[in-house]
Amino acid sequence: MSTIIKILGTGCPKCKTTTALVEEVVKENNIDAQVIKVEDIMKIMEYNVLSTPVVVIDEKITIKGRVPSKNEIIELLK
């Protein structure tokens, strides 16, 4: 089953950078994953987070409030 990666963010520059990075990593490493952007604030709040961007992998919150590095994303997707 492919991994579901959700990026939570209201559309700020940091969130866009994060989405682009995650998509890049997925593509470059041929990872079987689906990247979904969540921009609806009510949906975002269901995750009970205080700062964006947030990276959610298979419904588990991994990174919040900052742009991760590529290596970090690779580690998380292993």
Question: Which residues participate in catalysis according to the annotation?
Answer: 12, 15
CA distance 21 to 23: 5
Binding status of residue 69 toward another protein by CB under 8 A: yes
Residue 4 beta carbon to another protein: minimum distance, rounded to whole angstroms: 21
Binding status of residue 10 toward another protein by CB under 8 A: yes
Q: DSSP H helical segments within the chain, as ranges?
A: 13-28, 41-45, 70-77
Do β-strands 54-57 and 3-8 pair in parallel, antiparallel, or remain unpaired? antiparallel
Binding mask 22-61 for another protein (x = CB under 8 A): -------------------xx-xx--xxxxx---------
